[in-house]
Structure 1
């Protein structure tokens, strides 16, 4: 759909062998082929009918499923309630059945029996626990009589077929939905739904069979474009051209800013197996300039996409051009200490993870500091990803330490003080407000860390909250200062702090004529002029912020002010808004990296932030002592030594 010949054919043979292995596993475990996410695989099957929020649901599963059942039921779902009096069926609208085409229905078996039961569904026995729920999917051609135990019902409604011809003039993200809410896809396309349950596929000049009924077609192209929409009723047997041209909202590349997603998993278990060509289609369809595909483990020794990374390390992937670049890299994972990714690796690291009990490195050792240093030595820029998952509503770091292995960035505060970190992912599956609070405290102690974004999407999952969103739903824009697009130029911009992290809005921050990452020598007696301009959808609040809080605010698109720099400071712009239909994230959010203002050549120092970060280190030390998994005291002390070496940086700012 985008690349000829297929990109897999242009990659080393190890990549094809890796995909063959994944396809074999998928044939054995189609719901979740990696064998590490049993509950997620279960939720994935139910999410098809009841929404992506079920993918990570925990607790009382039968109660969770029953609470998620809407009234009326969604199209294609049959609820078979088992009672002592027999089987009672409740159905939603039937899917349309095209001549010669297949369609699927889901049978949700809801047992109200005190004992386990076995129910026959169209000749296949399905076992359900006492009081439990199970889901079976059945496919057929044309309407048929579907039997569930002693009950039966007709399934499907025959309608004539039509064909759509989709064109947008460039690769795009498409969605085709009929008037009963059922998604339609071209042959060979990955069947995926985003966090809002919207179906999607990528490409241009595509054809697909559809029912001759009212259809809604949408076309988007990432955050730089508005979503275009058309409603049509095709005539039976007709091929209907649908040409949509999403309106461009802003064009950062025209000014030398290029957008990237630093944290994308191509294959990460799941119910799909994703080839490089699929990843290429998504990158092109989202208009994403840089896509960083990371190899990483989950909880065992298997490192997903490791073979692809090691076979291509240090080289761009075949679909890269002067307008887009893709590269394999690494997410280094320790669920107690935090996760980091390395962009631009020129070699293979010693370890991919530590601290997973089922892996060959079960101990929380060596410290993440060692991994960060090695990634740096191999040429990478290093970022802590999804740092904080809560809003830190009480203003302290306490919420970060509520669960021992929450994958939050506990070691970030120490590693940043030791000079081992280049950036912090403000956007991804994390809480943007809690992460921003941490980021501001780090900046307020003189640490020059870039604001970046890594979505942590899992392309091999068809549905789920955020994980099945398209790559680049949040992205970091880097000012390459006129350099051609490349991984090296992107890295240099991150190291220099010339970045913007955003889910959609575009922010221009100018401080005395300078932009993010720049350092300005200021006279404390002079007001520094500041300008902030915002372009994008859904913004309700625009702020100029610094180490002492909000300095100026507007509910419009611009701020013009002056800042008295009595002491060294930093200034950044932040835009916020609620969820928006054209922004495939939880909320509208954008944050620039700061402009640094130095008075008398002194770095930024705020004692309150130093105390806050020392509190973080105290809590981190307690976490390591109480919950760290070590082979002996020497390993534990080695990790604690990282904290000890970091403390003086913050303690020196308390006076």
Structure 2
């Protein structure tokens, strides 16, 4: 008989009133789970499982019970020693903000479909994750579920296979066909180190998720998003400053811990569906976050909007943030910082003398980060193409070409050359 089964002499029933993420831990760090649940631990080593009204068999000793529900909620905790029979534990986390009530829906666009279906369903609802894009582990899942919501979807939770796809280069017929069918194309988990120079960008790219190629795809309009907008904010701002219009997104690498640790919030107009969410991302109505709820308004318009200006016009810019851990909110244009301040609301006026963009960024200790997509400010229909950023991208292209020249076909290199012509034209 297993040692942990010998210890079980009591039971607790966990009830929050809605699906949550639970941890039940004894003093020695041992985790306790409902029968049939696959053991899992988060990034801090804390055991967890999802659901509501759950029965857990436990030892009759002091236990710590913790409950939370993704980034829109706080956490609640209690300790107890269960008696004989069944002990009811009613505990619920406090909501920090309600994004859906404002028309914003959070997604994890990078979840591998490598766990049992029930685990995926419980995880999505237990984390209150509005949209999940599942990366299929085999062709059968694609064939069965492409274009259809998975069975546990409801009005505020949508799960799809293949809603978003990883770009692996600028000459992929398969990705072109997926995009024509409405799938989002972007990059995930791109960089593992500092990426503030072209040399760092080309040297730090992860070959498995190679966003080094995004400088090509973005120029040619082949991708919708750049999912290192949190961890690689400098690279993202170089791309949009050079005239590329791509959305800021994020996704969790599901190596450890629960899904939804990084989310892409998109402002959906009308009911939430996979199609309405994808359209919102495609139009850049997004922000990427590890927790904070970050809003940006430029003359009342949200990220993704383009405002055509006459040189000398003034616009009002407001950034707002909700959530723990934020220390600074910054309003940035293509030329640098417009304003910054402590958590809450930061406002400024901007005189538009040449094409630019505005983004909001929230920063804090540890991994607290959020970054919006831009509001674009064109001037007499000319879009931003800042010389310094275009030159940066041309250098990025040059280094990329040197890296891949001996590994790819002439057709591939011709696509790189086409991207170079796009950037060179923007210099004039």
- TM-score, L = length of structure 2: 0.95
| Cα deviation digits, residues 121-143 of structure 1 (max 9, x gap) | xxxxxxxxxxxxxxxxxxxx64x
Q: How many residues align structurally? A: 428
Q: Secondary structure at the match of 1:309?
A: helix
Larger radius of gyration: 1
Q: 2:219 aligns with which of 417, 420, 425?
A: 417
Residue 213 (str. 1) matches residue 113 (str. 2): no
Residue 649 (str. 1) matches residue 422 (str. 2): yes
Residue 449 (str. 1) matches residue 246 (str. 2): yes
Structure 2 CA distance for aligned equivalents of residues 262 and 331 of structure 1: 6
Q: 2:258 aligns with which of 466, 470, 474?
A: 470
Unaligned runs of 5+ in 1: 1-100, 105-140, 143-158, 268-273, 296-303, 333-338, 341-352, 354-365, 458-466, 580-586, 631-635
How much has 1:498 moved relative to structure 2? Answer: 0.6
Go from structure 1 to structure 2 and tell me whether the alpha carbon gap of 1:313 and 1:407 turns closer, same or farther (over 3 Å shift).
Answer: closer
- Report what 1:96 is aligned to: none
- Report what 1:329 is aligned to: 162
How much has 1:368 moved relative to structure 2? Answer: 4.3
Q: How does 1:144-223 map to 2 (within 5 A)?
A: 161-223=9-71
How much has 1:383 moved relative to structure 2? Answer: 1.3
Structure 2 CA distance for aligned equivalents of residues 242 and 161 of structure 1: 17
Where does structure 1 differ by over 3 angstroms across 4 or more consecutive aligned residues? 366-372, 402-407
- TM-score, L = length of structure 1: 0.63
Structure 2 CA distance for aligned equivalents of residues 397 and 564 of structure 1: 34
- Is contact 1:261-1:476 (8 Å) kept? yes
Structure 1 CA distance for aligned equivalents of residues 154 and 187 of structure 2: 28
- Is contact 1:264-1:292 (8 Å) kept? yes
- Is contact 1:506-1:536 (8 Å) kept? yes
- Is contact 1:289-1:325 (8 Å) kept? yes
- Report what 2:134 is aligned to: 293
Residue 520 (str. 1) matches residue 307 (str. 2): yes
Structure 2 CA distance for aligned equivalents of residues 202 and 647 of structure 1: 49
Structure 2 CA distance for aligned equivalents of residues 468 and 603 of structure 1: 41
Q: Considering only aligned residues, what root-mean-square deviation do their CA atoms show, in Å?
A: 1.9
- Is contact 1:385-1:424 (8 Å) kept? yes
How much has 1:653 moved relative to structure 2? Answer: 2.7
How much has 1:445 moved relative to structure 2? Answer: 1.6
Structure 1 CA distance for aligned equivalents of residues 8 and 117 of structure 2: 36
Q: How does 1:314-463 map to 2 (within 5 A)?
A: 314-329=147-162, 339-340=166-167, 367-392=170-195, 395-401=197-203, 405=207, 407-426=209-228, 432-433=230-231, 435-457=232-254
- Is contact 1:386-1:426 (8 Å) kept? yes
- Is contact 1:390-1:400 (8 Å) kept? no
Q: Secondary structure at the match of 2:426?
A: coil
Unaligned runs of 5+ in 2: none
Q: Which has the higher contact order (CA 8 A, sep 6+)?
A: 2
- Report what 1:498 is aligned to: 285
